[in-house]
Amino acid sequence: MPTEINPFQRPHPIQKKRVLFVITQSELGGAQQFILQFIKQAEKDAYDLSVGVGSDGDGALSRALIELGIPVFVLSALKRGVDPISDVRAIGQIRKLIRQLKPDTLFLSSSKAGFIGAWAARACRPRPKVIYRIGGWTFNDPWSAWEKALWRTLEKISAPWKDIIVVNNAPDLAQAKALGIKPRQEIVLIHNGLDPYKINFLTKEEARAQLVLPHSQKVIGVIANFYPAKGLEYAIEAASKIDRADVVWCVIGDGMGRFTLKKMIEDKGLVEKVLLVGQKEDAGRYLHAFDLFVLPSVKEGFPWAVLEAMAAKLPIIATRVGAVPEIIEDGVSGYIVEPRNSDQIAERVLTLLDNTHKAQEMGIQAHQRLLFAFNIEATIHQIEKLL
């Protein structure tokens, strides 16, 4: 009898493929989560993996990679901001690393690493295959007009230096085609995936105790780095519109916007109502502390935090940005609101707080959608085909 074909079965190459990932920052944001997911899920005998990490961030990615036994190389000159002198040095550092490791594939994650890394690879002989994965075009961030124009130009200039560009949501794919962002071979859409059974969730009691949250109140949760794109000010504004003593908001994360957000909370008299509990490694483990999850972003790619909230069976309120309309069925597995609209966030929060049955049903539907639509095996299989 013929052997049944498994669509997720992976080839067994005679020689391991050498893959060098390069990423700009070391905190655990979406791009970093993708790298960790791939390394954890990829077939160990098929690849020789290493990671070059920029100097910005809290080092959480580097620590996680070292625990997995992955070689990590710190690129001291690779930084998030534009700095011509550091940027030229970063090109040299990446070029030196390519020549040292001789990767078959250079896998670039994040905008800055995408431009700098592709430039560095141009002068290498033999030149590695260059794959660039972008988790949301940076020219969609809430920058000034000239910064948006600069990044659009850089993406268009550098696209021919890359063999393949991977986007994770349909709007980014359409935007790339409209702007003429064309790599050597192809631009492909690959959604993120997650295995909900591999998240080591704390119980509600453990999570609230570790976050120092009240056990008797409803907790509305947010997980985000404190960047302008995350729109955290709109969550705080929504909190100011909900006058209920039985509700607190908890924000897990940190970053350059902390002072501004903290002052906003103080000015609105929300010190006891909106709690900034700081950065937590494996933040998804704490999701059972929440009664519902809010993503107030003004720009996203394919947010990992939403997938993790689905894994935790939480009702979700998220803004209509990036892949969110592809992830959430509005009114079924969550609510979608317009970005920069604190009134809509507050309205949907109250709807779920007042309807426990609806909230529970949404959480269950979200979990089922994650299982069937965003399977991590499918994501890894598609990436491995590119390699």
Q: Which residues contact 69 (CB under 8 A, 6 or more apart)?
A: none
**3-state SS class at 313:** coil
Taking alpha carbons only, the member of 386, 381, 277 closest to residue 42 is: 381
CA atoms of 338 and 315, how far apart (whole Å): 17
- Identify the band that residue 28 occupies on the pLDDT scale cut at 50, 70 and 90: confident
- Which tens digit of pLDDT belongs to each residue from 86-108? 999 999 999 999 999 999 999 99
> 354 to each of 234, 251, 318, how far by Cα in Å?
21, 22, 18
Give the pLDDT score at 358. Answer: 97
CA atoms of 296 and 314, how far apart (whole Å): 16
Please give the structure tokens belonging to residue 295.
């993503």
Q: Is residue 333 within 8 Å of 365, Cβ to Cβ?
A: yes
Q: Is residue 315 over pLDDT 80?
A: yes
Q: Is residue 170 within 8 Å of 353, Cβ to Cβ?
A: no
Is the pTM higher than 0.95? The answer reads no
Q: Is 178 exposed, middle or buried (0-12, 13-18, 19+ CB in 10 A)?
A: exposed
Taking alpha carbons only, the member of 159, 158, 218, 169 closest to residue 192 is: 169
> 17-189 is classed in which CATH architecture?
3-Layer(aba) Sandwich (3.40)
Q: Is residue 3 over pLDDT 50?
A: no
Q: Is residue 306 within 8 Å of 324, Cβ to Cβ?
A: yes
- Which tens digit of pLDDT belongs to each residue from 324-371? 999 999 999 999 999 999 999 999 999 999 999 999 999 999 999 999
CA atoms of 87 and 81, how far apart (whole Å): 9
The CATH number of the domain covering residues in 196-373: 3.40.50.2000
Neighbours of 37 (CB within 10 A): 20
Domain(s) of CATH 3.40.50.2000: residues in the chain: 17-189, 196-373
Give the pLDDT score at 336. Answer: 98
Q: Is 222 exposed, middle or buried (0-12, 13-18, 19+ CB in 10 A)?
A: buried
Secondary structure percentages of the chain, helix, strand, coil, to 5: 45, 20, 35
- Which tens digit of pLDDT belongs to each residue from 230-258? 999 999 999 999 999 999 999 999 998 99
Mean pLDDT over each residue of the chain, to the nearest integer: 94
Neighbours of 89 (CB within 10 A): 17
- The residue with greater pLDDT, 4 or 130, is 130
Q: What is the mean pLDDT of the segment spanning 3-11?
A: 45
- Nearest 5°: phi and psi at 266? -65, -45
Extended beta strands in 67-104, E state: 72-75
- Identify the band that residue 14 occupies on the pLDDT scale cut at 50, 70 and 90: low
